[in-house]
Structure 1
Amino acid sequence: MKKLLILVACSGLMFTSCVSKKKYAELEAKQKETQDMLNTATVKLNDCLEERSGLRAENQSLKSQVASLNATNGDLIKQIGDFTDLTKKGAANLEKSLESLKEKDLTIRKLQDAVTRRDSVNLALVQSLKGAVGSMDDEDIEISVEKGVVYVNISDKLLFNSGSYQITSRAKEVLGKVAAVVKNKPDFEFLVEGHTDTVPISTGCIKDNWDLSVLRATAVVRTLQNDFGVAPARMTAGGRGEYVPVASNDNADGKAKNRRTRIVVLPKLDQFYNMIEEGLKDPAIN
């Protein structure tokens, strides 16, 4: 009897063990199926995320294209003057912008006209001076225009004797011709500059090259005023000494070129530059 019970018990255990393995196999199969589904879903999710990222980039690109097209469209609207789809406020703003551009263009044209007039007057002045002083083959006289200013360079050997500031008779002839031109140009002022070489000088009346250059410039100004009636208020006398050379002072030719008197003929620069400054203050410019 005891053996029978043991046999029944073992049979029951074997039966139970068989049933558990079968369920385990089923569960394992379901787990694998679920894992496969999860893997598939994960792949699809990644694809969706990647696709969403691509769509976002494409959407941003389309937005940029739309913005560019809107800008181009706005430019075309301005060019053809089509205000049909503009609001009243937009049309008013556009009209103000156009008016501002017109004012700016007008101001710039005024400044350009001023510069053109100045250059034209300077050119006419140069021609008058060249015609008045005669042949420009004379190396002792040079007339030029630089940066809107007329320069008349006269060699000191034409104006003065060596180491002197007394005007020569030939110099008065040349200065008289220059005076005849500038007297007919009341809109011009001029600066008379004296220049020397580096050779030192010291006499009872002249201390150094600074002194000599100033005395020579003053002598030219006095001659223009006293002998030829040029208004003194239009003239300035100045000495530059040896410090603005145009050639080397190491040789005689260079020193001769540096000993000169320069007449700088200036338009009334205060009026000209005031006009430019006023123009630049214009809101249309800024």
Structure 2
Amino acid sequence: MKTKKLFILSLAAGAILMTSCVSKKELVACQDENKSLTQNYMSAKEQLAAANSRVSSLEAQLAQAQKDYARLQRSLDKSLTNANQNNVSIEKLVDQINESNQYIRHLVEVKSKSDSLNMVLTNNLTRSLSREELKEVDVQVLKGVVYISLADNMLYKSGSYEINDRAAETLSKIAKIIMDYKDYDVLVEGNTDNVPISRENIRNNWDLSCLRASSVVQFLQTRYGVDPKRLTAGGRGEYNPLTTNNTEVGKQRNRRTQIIITPKLDQFMELIDQAPEKD
């Protein structure tokens, strides 16, 4: 009987011991699982916080974009309103720009042709003049206009407005150029130094400069047949000097007659008529 009790007690102790071992393993397993779940929860929580922050940023960007869109829409509406008020369409603006560009190209083409023609005119004239004549005749093209400047001592008798014999040959060469280019007008302009003059029928330098220009114009008309409708005579007295009148050399340069050859005025008027009309 005693032996049987001992056996029973031994079985009970073994059962308790086995139960204790199983419970400890389960506890460790539960603890590991809980730790893993805790880590997963914290990671998910961090990801959720990052996602919420991203959503907030995107919402802010969307709100700013909506504000920008609204501002642009208001600006566009205002522009369209102004355009409607002024009766200006995009097509009309494009047409106006195209017309302006066409007119500019036309002006450039006309200027190029004019410059080329003036250079030919200048070259023809300078080739026809002798070396001695070129010392007293200056030929230039400035802004599409040909300027022929002649010293007074080669054109006129001293203190006079009468053309001298020496000038006849030079003026004949200039007249030939003028006759060859019939689409050009000719202005003859007299200039003096500042030394006062008072002679019979010549009150001052205004008179002298005008009379000298008139003499050249009449010479070109009567001697060489230049159409008087193309000719204009004018005097500027002492008030258009090239340089100072304080030296004899300066005074000599200022005493000159200019023959200015320009395209006819009606050609410029025709060019203006071709300009696009303004609304």
Cross-structure match for 1:160: 156
Q: CA deviation at 1:57?
A: 2.8
Q: Deviations over 1:99-119 (max 9, x none)?
A: 665544333322221111111
Residue in structure 2 matched with residue 263 of structure 1 by the alignment: 259
Whole-angstrom CA distance in 1 between matches of 2:104 and 2:253: 41
Q: 2:63 aligns with which of 53, 56, 63?
A: 56
How far apart are the structure 2 equivalents of 1:173 and 1:126?
A: 18
Distance 2:226 2:268 in 1: 22
Are the equivalent residues in 1 in contact too, given 2:210–2:235 (CA < 8 A)? Answer: yes
Q: Does 1:254 align with 2:250?
A: yes
SS in 2 for 1:266: strand
8 Å Cα contact 2:183/2:263 also seen in 1: yes
CA contact (8 A) 1:132 1:181 kept: no
SS at match of 2:134: coil
Query: Any unmatched runs of 5+ in structure 1?
Result: 1-49, 71-92
Deviations 1:68-101 (A, max 9, x none): xx9xxxxxxxxxxxxxxxxxxxxxx887776665
Number of the residue aligned with 1:280: 275
**Bigger Rg over Cα:** 2
Deviations 1:135-166 (A, max 9, x none): 38833110001111100000001101221111
Backbone CA RMSD of aligned residues: 3.0
- State the secondary structure of the residue aligned to 2:141: strand
Once residues 274 and 64 of structure 2 are traced to their aligned partners in structure 1, the CA distance between those partners, rounded to angstroms, is 49
Q: CA deviation at 1:122?
A: 1.0
Distance in 1 of aligned mates of 2:113 and 2:58: 68
TM-score, normalised relative to structure 2:
0.67
Aligned-partner SS, 1:108: helix
The number of residue pairs the alignment matches comes to 210
The alignment partner of 1:193 has SS state of strand
**1:176 offset after TM fit, Å?**
0.4
Contact (CA 8 Å) 2:126, 2:134: kept in 1 or not?
no
What displacement does 1:170 show? 1.3
1:245 equivalent in structure 2: 241
